[in-house]
């Protein structure tokens, strides 16, 4: 017989504690769109954006330089005086100081020069960084949506748990009154107390879930959101997108596909270099206009490297030879080289492997898109079933109200039916959230922003 007194004391104590607690300030409504506008501050997006900036800087540098290099050079020689004897007559030869100073400019001018390949590599790196930035932004959007809708659901669950706790407390009060009148057993009171405790646990769990979702959203946005309420709701109706278009977009724009495409392009360039080494002779043509010894204007072209250079040297000393044109050409061609043949075979194998890797990556992203498409289809079917469940709960509530008017049901029966409607609406909200997140996940898999 102590249980009713103890329960009443606990309930009164809780009521007094609630009365003594000062009222919390009103929460500020936060929409999903407003939360998404803060994505630029998220750590993952910031890091990816910095990678794009670095890649763009490298590409700009490659475009500006174009393999251009400028160097200065110089040399000096000194020959000491000496004496010679001719026909018995000694002759003294004075010392001589000579040398030159000049500048050399080289530039890759043929399509296969190393600077051109560097430019291609920088462009590929930028493309990959941009794709990774898009992927990071889409992943961050999905994370924000998950945390936001998790808070929305927890908010509704907390409201439902609060209403359920109030009903269970009224039921306990009724059972205690019935026990006092001799119309209820101790077991019935204990069951009512257990229902109250279960409702309190559910309310505590809902409060914890809401707090976790709020903290998760703050972490996803990279800032504290403060005391907010969540006013956005998932869409009531969703349309299945064109899966073929999504697959095509994923096969062309996913970062892993672009990375594989970059590897294939690099392997093809390496193969082209090996093929040129086999087919083209290593030829260097040069021309110079100046004194016979050294100095003057010079130019050269290396066919295999694809680079040209221009230089100008100023000689100094006692060289008084007239200026003239000197041209030369030199070259070599490898007739037989097992090592070179092995390198060519390795480059061909690398291209084949890169093609296979690209094909596998495209198949993987297509499978991912189609899997997420099936998940969305199932989620939409679940929404339809939950809509029907809400209609059933509403019909049950209407019946309970009719029975109350007829005197065959109690007000608690109506309240229980109302909670049944609220529970069905909660399940419908959860189903719509799952469908909304499934759609966002599908769009992310196809690298598309809604």
Q: Rounded to 5, what percent of the chain is helix, strand, coil?
A: 65, 15, 20
How far is 398 from 395, CA to CA, in rounded Å?
A: 5
Q: Is residue 168 part of a domain?
A: yes
First to last CA, the chain: 63
Identify the three-state secondary structure at position 406.
helix
SS3 19: helix
Cβ pair 447, 250 in contact under 8 A: yes
Give the burial string for 175-213 (b: 16+ CB within 10 Å, else e): bbeebeeeebeeebbeebbebbeebbebbeebeebbeeb
Each residue's pLDDT tens digit, 402-443: 999 999 998 889 989 999 999 999 999 999 999 999 999 999
In a domain, residue 301? The reply is no
* 411, part of any domain: no
Give me the pLDDT at residue 193, please: 95
SS3 222: coil
Is 181 inside any structural domain? yes
Domain that holds residue 49: 27-75+97-233
Tokens 């050079």 locate to: 73
Phi-psi sector, 156: left (phi>0), alpha (psi -120 to 50), beta: alpha
How far from the centroid of its chain's Cα atoms is residue 162's Cα?
40
| Maximum average pLDDT range among 53-57, 332-336, 436-440, 445-449 | 436-440
Distance CA 217, CA 219 (A): 5
Confidence of residue 18 (pLDDT cuts 50, 70, 90): very low
Q: What is the CATH number of the domain that holds 68?
A: 1.20.1600.10
Query: pLDDT digit string (tens) for 302-350?
Result: 888 788 889 888 877 666 677 888 888 888 888 888 888 999 999 999 9
How confident is the model at residue 75, as a pLDDT? 77
> What's CA 382's distance to the chain center, in Å?
30
Q: In what order do the strands lie in the sheet with 282-290?
A: 69-79, 96-108, 307-316, 296-302, 282-290, 324-332
User: Cα(93)–Cα(80) distance, rounded to whole angstroms?
Assistant: 9
Structure tokens at 294: 């050294």
Q: What is the arithmetic mean of pLDDT over 375-403?
A: 97
Three-state DSSP class for residue 22: coil
- pLDDT beyond 70 at 67: no
Q: Structurally, how many domains does the chain consist of?
A: 1
What pLDDT does 24 receive?
59
d(CA 448, CA 450): 7
Query: If pLDDT is split at 50, 70 and 90, which confidence band does 2 have?
Result: very low
Q: What are the CA-CA distances from residue 84 to residues 77, 81, 94, 243, 332 (Å)?
A: 21, 10, 11, 96, 44
Rg (alpha carbons) of the chain, rounded to whole number: 41
Higher pLDDT, 78 or 51: 51
Beta bridge partners of 283: 331
Indicate the pLDDT class of residue 7, thresholds 50, 70 and 90.
very low
Contact 35, 148 (CB under 8 A): yes
Residues contacting residue 303 through CB under 8 Å, at least 6 positions apart: 110, 280, 281, 282, 283, 284, 285, 331
163 found inside a domain: yes
Is 309 within a domain? no
Q: Is residue 154 part of a domain?
A: yes
pLDDT of residue 151: 94
- pLDDT-based confidence at residue 393 (cuts at 50, 70, 90): very high
DSSP state of 219: H
Per-residue pLDDT tens over the stretch 102-134: 888 887 777 777 778 888 899 999 999 999 989
Of 115, 133, 362, 152, residue with least CA distance to 252: 362
Where are the alpha helices (H) located in 254-337, listed in sequence order?
255-279
Asked, for residue 141, whether it belongs to a domain, the answer is yes
Number of Cβ within a 10 Å radius of residue 47: 12
Residue 174 predicted with pLDDT over 60: yes
Q: Which residue has the higher pLDDT, 162 or 23?
A: 162
């Amino acid at each position: 017989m102590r249980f009713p007194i103890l329960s009443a004391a606990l309930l009164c104590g809780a009521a007094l504690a609630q009365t003594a607690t000062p009222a919390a300030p009103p929460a500020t409504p936060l929409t999903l769109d407003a939360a998404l506008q803060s994505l630029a501050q998220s750590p993952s997006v910031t890091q990816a954006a910095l990678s794009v900036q670095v890649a763009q800087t490298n590409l700009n540098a490659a475009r500006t330089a174009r393999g251009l290099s400028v160097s200065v050079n110089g040399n000096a020689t000194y020959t000491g005086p000496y004496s010679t004897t001719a026909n018995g007559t000694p002759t003294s030869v004075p010392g001589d100081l000579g040398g030159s100073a000049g500048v050399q400019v080289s530039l890759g001018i043929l399509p296969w020069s190393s600077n051109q390949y560097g430019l291609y590599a920088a462009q590929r790196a930028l493309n990959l960084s941009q794709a990774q930035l898009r992927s990071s932004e889409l992943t961050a959007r999905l994370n924000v949506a998950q945390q936001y809708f998790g808070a929305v659901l927890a908010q509704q669950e907390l409201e439902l748990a609060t209403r359920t706790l109030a009903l269970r407390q009224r039921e306990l009060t009724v059972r205690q009154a019935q026990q006092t009148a001799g119309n209820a057993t101790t077991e019935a009171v204990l069951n009512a107390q257990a229902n109250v405790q279960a409702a309190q646990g559910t309310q505590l769990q809902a409060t914890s879930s809401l707090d976790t979702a709020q903290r998760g959203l703050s972490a996803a946005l990279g800032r504290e959101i403060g005391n907010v309420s969540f006013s956005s709701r998932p869409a009531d109706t969703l349309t299945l997108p064109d899966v073929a278009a999504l697959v095509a977009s994923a096969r062309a724009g996913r970062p892993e596909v672009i990375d594989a495409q970059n590897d294939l392009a690099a392997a093809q360039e390496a193969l082209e270099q090996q093929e040129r080494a086999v087919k083209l002779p290593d030829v260097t043509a040069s021309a110079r206009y100046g004194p016979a010894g050294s100095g003057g204007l010079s130019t050269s072209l290396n066919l295999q490297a694809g680079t040209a250079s221009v230089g100008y040297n100023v000689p100094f000393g006692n060289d008084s030879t007239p200026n003239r044109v000197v041209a030369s050409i030199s070259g070599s061609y490898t007739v037989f080289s097992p090592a070179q043949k092995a390198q060519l075979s390795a480059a061909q194998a690398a291209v084949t492997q890169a093609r296979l890797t690209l094909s596998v990556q495209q198949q993987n992203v297509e499978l991912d898109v189609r899997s997420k498409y099936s998940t969305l289809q199932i989620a939409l079917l679940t929404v339809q079933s939950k809509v029907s469940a809400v209609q059933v709960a509403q019909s049950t509530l209407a019946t309970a109200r009719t029975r109350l008017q007829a005197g065959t049901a109690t007000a608690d029966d109506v309240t229980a039916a109302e909670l049944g409607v609220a529970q069905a609406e909660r399940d419908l909200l959860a189903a719509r959230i799952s469908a909304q997140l499934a759609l966002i996940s599908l769009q992310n898999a196809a690298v598309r922003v809604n």
